[in-house]
């Protein structure tokens, strides 16, 4: 009996030990598993590359977190690819590992501001205070960019460039006239600025014209034809105003169209109105200019002795034909009032 009690006592001790040890083992396993999970998670943190955009001007790029050394600066709108590391983003800059403050970045690019040139020609430069000239913008030109002190940073010809902010405004320079059809025509013409032979955009203009029934003289345009008047007709087609501004590809016959409506002004020296059609003859050297007309465009506005136009198949060089320079653009141009190359004006009845 005493022996049996001893055995039972030993069994109870073993059971107690088991009850004490086994939960501990489970606890250890749980801790190990939790620790492993945390390690796995921490190992994965920051391994996913993100595309981010700088939200401020001049974001410092540093060789290490909390470093005071400066490797360079990123500009507002710059795109970077990097890895989150706490309050920092780890990137590659100049071929080496670098860090930028995460709070000044976002997955969405910052909103660019829209500006209009209020005084031109406005020099476009590759850097602030540079004397090098990349090109010029004309009064009324619209640009998008980021304010940078007394400058505006824009993209021009595919590269970063700068213009003087004081010659720009956030208001449209040539405001609406209040004449609905006229405003529609000029707005449509502005939409196509930048179209050219080079980017093949002129093909859509010519195709749209060619799709119209009863083409004048039955002539469908070719892509290598001069397309200044096709652009005028295209704007009329897009705005359903061909009854007002005509539908032609010949400047000479377009001039006749307005003569028949008693809307042609045979005087290249007058001050025109917005919405007039302006005709040119490049070979003339003085007024009066009664040479054969060979180019046409829209008058957008008049300011300080200059006529501002929007033209199709225009040259990038002032007072010259696109045929002299092989590439035609839809472009905003300007001419001195009374310039020798102005052949005359048409004044459509938009009302």
Contact between residue 90 and residue 83 where contact means Cβ atoms under 8 Å apart = yes
* 210 within 8 A of 221, measured Cβ to Cβ: yes
What pLDDT, on the 0 to 100 scale, is given for residue 120?
Answer: 81
* Region 68-94 average pLDDT: 94
Average pLDDT over residues 171-193: 93
Phi, psi (5° rounding) for residue 341?
-85, -5
Range scoring the smallest mean pLDDT among 24-38, 61-75, 183-197: 24-38
Q: Do domains 50-106 and 113-169 have the same CATH topology?
A: yes
Q: Check residues 319 and 73 and name the one with the higher pLDDT.
A: 73
Instruction: Report the alpha-carbon distance of residue 241 to residue 263 in Å, rounded.
Output: 16
User: pLDDT band at residue 322, thresholds of 50, 70 and 90?
Assistant: very low
Q: Which residue has the higher pLDDT, 317 or 325?
A: 317
Work out whether the CA dihedral 271, 285, 264, 310 comes out positive or negative.
negative
Do the beta carbons of residue 238 and residue 257 sit within 8 Å?
Answer: no
pLDDT in tens, 116-159: 999 889 999 999 999 999 999 999 999 999 999 899 999 998 89
Higher pLDDT, 203 or 57: 203
Chain segment 278-315, per-residue pLDDT in tens: 999 999 999 999 999 999 999 999 998 999 999 999 97
Give the pLDDT mean for 162-190: 94
Question: Please, which pLDDT band fits residue 4 given cuts at 50, 70 and 90?
Answer: low
**What fold, for 113-169?**
SH3 type barrels. (2.30.30)
- pLDDT tens digits for range 22-49: 455 444 343 333 333 333 333 344 678 9
Q: Measured between alpha carbons, how far is 32 from 26 in angstroms, rounded to an integer?
A: 10
Q: What is the mean pLDDT of the chain?
A: 87
90 pLDDT more than 80: yes
Phi then psi for residue 122, to 5 deg, are -105, 125
Residue 120 near residue 167 (C-beta atoms within 8 A) = yes
Buried b / exposed e along 192-215 (16+ C-beta atoms within 10 A): bbebbbeeeebeebbeebeeeeeb
Listed by start position, the domains of the chain span 50-106, 113-169, 180-346
Assign a CATH topology to domain 50-106.
Answer: SH3 type barrels. (2.30.30)
């Amino acid at each position: 009996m005493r022996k049996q009690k001893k055995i039972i006592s030993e069994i109870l001790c073993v059971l107690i030990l088991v009850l004490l040890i086994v939960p501990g083992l489970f606890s250890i396993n749980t801790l190990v598993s939790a620790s492993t999970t945390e390690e796995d998670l921490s190992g994965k943190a920051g391994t996913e590359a993100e595309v981010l955009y700088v939200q401020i001007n001049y974001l410092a790029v540093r060789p290490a977190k909390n470093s005071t050394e400066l490797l360079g600066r990123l500009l507002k709108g710059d795109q970077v690819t990097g890895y989150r590391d706490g309050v920092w983003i780890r990137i590659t800059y100049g071929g080496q590992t670098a860090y930028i403050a995460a709070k000044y970045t976002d997955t969405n690019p910052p909103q660019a501001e829209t500006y209009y040139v209020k005084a031109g020609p406005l020099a476009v430069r590759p850097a602030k205070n540079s004397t090098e000239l990349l090109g010029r913008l004309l009064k009324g030109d619209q640009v998008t960019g980021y304010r940078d002190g007394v400058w505006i940073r824009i993209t021009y010809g595919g590269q970063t460039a700068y213009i003087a902010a004081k010659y720009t405004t956030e208001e449209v320079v040539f405001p609406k006239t209040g004449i609905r059809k006229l405003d529609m025509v000029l707005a449509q013409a502005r939409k196509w600025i930048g179209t050219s032979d080079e980017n093949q955009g002129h093909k859509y203009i010519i195709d749209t014209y060619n799709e119209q029934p009863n083409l004048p003289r039955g002539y469908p345009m070719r892509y290598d034809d001069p397309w200044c008047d096709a652009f005028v007709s295209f704007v009329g087609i897009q705005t359903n105003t061909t009854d007002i501004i005509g539908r032609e590809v010949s400047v000479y016959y377009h001039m006749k169209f307005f003569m028949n409506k008693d809307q042609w002004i045979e005087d290249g020296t007058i001050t025109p109105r917005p919405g007039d059609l302006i005709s040119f003859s490049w070979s003339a050297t003085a007024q009066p200019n009664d040479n054969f007309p060979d180019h046409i465009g829209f008058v957008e506005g008049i300011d300080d002795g200059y006529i501002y136009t929007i033209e199709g198949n225009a040259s990038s060089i002032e007072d010259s034909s696109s045929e002299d320079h092989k590439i035609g653009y839809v472009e905003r141009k300007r001419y001195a009032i009374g310039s020798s190359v102005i052949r005359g004006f048409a004044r459509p009845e938009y009302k």
